[in-house]
């Protein structure tokens, strides 16, 4: 008899973490690796945020807090939702968690059960289907098209629906595609969801990182109907370079928020006490570091995209958000894993195979690294592609 549950056995290890650990091991051996696999900003957390956490530590703010977060942070998040996203949540509808990842997992666990289906546009962030499976539900993938900017259409969503569909997951701006849904596209998706009262898990963790004239639109802001169906997830990791602080949050209709609070109280309890004071400073303090980081990412995106566009065997959609480019390598007749392994071993460049995101024709490159490393890495990438 196996001592490992079928739930655990059904999960696949994170390919992004395995690539990252392999490239770090190579760096530890003194090998000059250009890392394009990172899923986190390479910037330091702004000083005023660190100072707030240090002050909280020095004042002895190291005890348990309410499981759903300290009241002043929940209120600040509600204020942020109102000001930035035009969504009216009460503080009681906000749950602060140990990262947006936990917020997504809690939301799925609180609403989905065995027999339910969750629609996930592909390519997708690799943890979504695993979270759905842990909840006992079944992920249903909708393969999006490169010519549509890797975005699911309302028609594709409708075709994927069955009487068992409980939820759809939308990630805008998206990982790994960098795609941003327009207001009109989201309105059409909401229309389809509203027909059958399908919940919408809206992961908006990259909302501050949008480029050109792109506007981020929160699904829950679109209508009363959208508000009632939506669970809005966000966090501090990407916008404020706070990945290691493990601080995320969500806003949801009151019954769902209460259920999530109950689940969290029996799993992790509260997020880190002094991290919450850092989050408070992030929301209420100077926002210029966020704008500066976004501007730097824009420069890097433009450079990396221009270089990729000059390689005849590669196609890519210009990302409008986040800090990734999804490149189509299907003309090279290699699997994404094979391409990524060879690129790392022969050219010392780390990327993530698209198989991790449900699309084996692609690879993901992150521009969350310095322009110097991007220039050097793209030289190597270009030379490598010429050899294939």
Q: What is the tens place of the pLDDT at every residue in 237-264? A: 999 999 999 999 999 999 999 999 999 9
Residue 131 lies in a domain: yes
Is 66 exposed, middle or buried, given 0-12, 13-18 or 19+ CB atoms closer than 10 A?
A: middle
| Residue 55: inside a domain | no
Average pLDDT of the chain to the nearest whole number: 96
Q: Is residue 160 a part of any domain in this protein?
A: yes
Residues 168 and 276 in one domain: yes
Task: Give yes or no for residue 206 having a pLDDT over 90.
Answer: yes
**What does the pLDDT average to over 309-323?**
96
Q: Average pLDDT of 160-188?
A: 98
Distance CA 169, CA 176 (A): 14
| Least confidently predicted of 22-26, 65-69, 214-218, 372-376 | 22-26
Q: How confident is the model at residue 138 (pLDDT cuts 50, 70, 90)?
A: very high
Same domain, 165 and 68: yes
> Where are any strands of DSSP class E within 126-247?
138-143, 165-171, 199-203, 230-235
Buried/exposed 293-311: b ≥16 CB within 10 Å, e otherwise: bbebbbebbeebbebbeeb
pLDDT at position 24:
84
Full-model pTM:
0.95
Q: Each residue of 331-345: pLDDT tens digit?
A: 999 999 999 999 999
Domain's final residue, options 249, 268, 284? 284
The more confident residue out of 20 and 293 is 293
How much is the pLDDT for 11?
83
Q: How far apart are CA 108 and CA 136, in angstroms?
A: 10
DSSP letter string, 107-138: HHHHH--TT-EEEEEES--THHHHHHHHTT-E
DSSP H or E run through 315: strand 315-316
Q: Examine residue 58 and state whether it is found in any structural domain, yes or no.
A: no
Whether 33 and 100 share a structural domain: no
pLDDT at 99: 97
CATH number, position 29:
3.90.1150.10
Give the pLDDT band (50/70/90) at residue 216: very high
Please count the structural domains in the chain.
2
User: Are 33 and 161 within one domain?
Assistant: no
Q: 315 with 354: CB under 8 angstroms?
A: no
For residue 6, the model assigns a pLDDT of: 85
Q: What is the mean pLDDT of residues 21-41?
A: 90
Query: Where does the pLDDT of residue 13 fall: very low under 50, low under 70, confident under 90, or very high at 90 and above?
Result: confident
The answer to whether position 377 is within a domain reads: yes
Q: Is residue 92 part of a domain?
A: yes
* Buried/exposed code over 95-132 (b: 16+ C-beta within 10 A; e: otherwise): bbbbbbbbbbbbbbbbbbeeebbbbbbbbbbbbbbbbb
Q: How confident is the model at residue 222 (pLDDT cuts 50, 70, 90)?
A: very high
Predicted pLDDT at 104: 98
% of the chain exceeding 90 in pLDDT: 93
Residue 257 within any structural domain of the chain: yes
Angle at CA of residue 276, ends 53 and 273, nearest 5°: 80
pLDDT at 10: 83
Residues 278, 308: one domain? no
Residues 97 and 218 placed together within one structural domain of the fold: yes
pLDDT score, position 15: 73
d(CA 195, CA 189): 10
> Does one domain contain both 165 and 262?
yes
Whether 141 and 242 share a structural domain: yes
Residues 214 and 275 in one domain: yes
**Which residue, 265, 284, 303, sits at the end of a domain?**
284
pLDDT in tens, 101-114: 999 999 999 999 99
Pair (18, 91) in one structural domain: no
What per-residue confidence (pLDDT) applies to 120? 98
The sign of the dihedral angle between the CA atoms of 127, 132, 136, 137 is: negative
Same domain, 78 and 95: yes
Residue 30 has pLDDT above 70, yes or no: yes
Predicted local confidence at residue 350, as pLDDT: 96
CA distance 229 to 167: 9
Domain edge (last residue) among 250, 284, 318: 284
Domain housing 320: 6-45+288-386
Q: What is the mean pLDDT of residues 145-162?
A: 98
Predicted confidence (pLDDT) at residue 38 exceeds the cutoff of 90: no
Return the pLDDT at 1: 58
């Amino acid at each position: 008899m196996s001592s490992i549950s079928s739930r655990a056995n059904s999960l696949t290890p994170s390919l992004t973490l395995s690539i990252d650990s392999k490239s770090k091991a190579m760096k530890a051996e003194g090998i000059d690796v250009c890392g394009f696999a990172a899923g986190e900003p390479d910037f330091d957390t702004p000083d005023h945020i660190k100072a707030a956490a240090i002050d909280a530590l020095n004042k002895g703010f190291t005890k348990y807090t309410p499981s759903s977060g300290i009241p002043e942070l929940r209120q600040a998040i509600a204020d942020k939702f109102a000001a930035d996203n035009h969504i009216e949540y009460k503080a009681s509808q906000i749950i602060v968690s140990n990262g947006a990842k936990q917020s997504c997992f809690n939301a799925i666990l609180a609403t989905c059960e065995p027999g339910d289906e969750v629609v996930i546009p592909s390519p997708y962030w690799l943890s979504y289907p695993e979270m759905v499976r842990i909840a006992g539900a079944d992920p249903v993938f909708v393969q999006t098209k490169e010519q549509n900017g890797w975005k699911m259409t309302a028609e594709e969503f409708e075709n994927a629906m069955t009487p068992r569909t409980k939820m759809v997951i939308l990630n805008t701006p998206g990982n790994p595609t960098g795609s941003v849904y327009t207001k009109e596209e989201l309105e059409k998706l909401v229309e389809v969801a509203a027909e059958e009262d399908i919940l919408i898990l809206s992961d908006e963790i990259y909302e501050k990182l949008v480029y050109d004239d792109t506007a981020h639109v929160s699904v829950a802001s679109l209508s009363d109907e959208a508000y009632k169906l939506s669970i809005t997830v966000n966090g501090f990791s990407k916008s404020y370079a706070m990945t290691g602080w493990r601080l995320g949050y969500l806003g949801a209709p009151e019954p769902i928020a209460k259920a999530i609070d109950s689940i969290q109280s029996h799993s992790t309890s509260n997020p880190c006490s002094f991290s919450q004071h850092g989050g408070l400073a992030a929301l209420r303090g100077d926002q210029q570091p966020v704008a500066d980081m976004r501007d730097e990412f824009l420069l890097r995106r433009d450079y990396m995209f221009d270089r990729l566009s000059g390689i005849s065997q590669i196609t890519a959609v210009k990302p409008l958000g986040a800090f990734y480019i999804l490149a189509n390598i299907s003309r090279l007749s290699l699997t994404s894993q094979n391409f990524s392994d060879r690129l790392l071993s022969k050219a010392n460049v780390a990327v993530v195979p698209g198989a991790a995101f449900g699309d084996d024709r692609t690879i993901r490159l992150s521009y969350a690294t310095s322009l110097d490393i991007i220039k050097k890495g793209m030289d190597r990438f270009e030379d490598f592609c010429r050899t294939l």
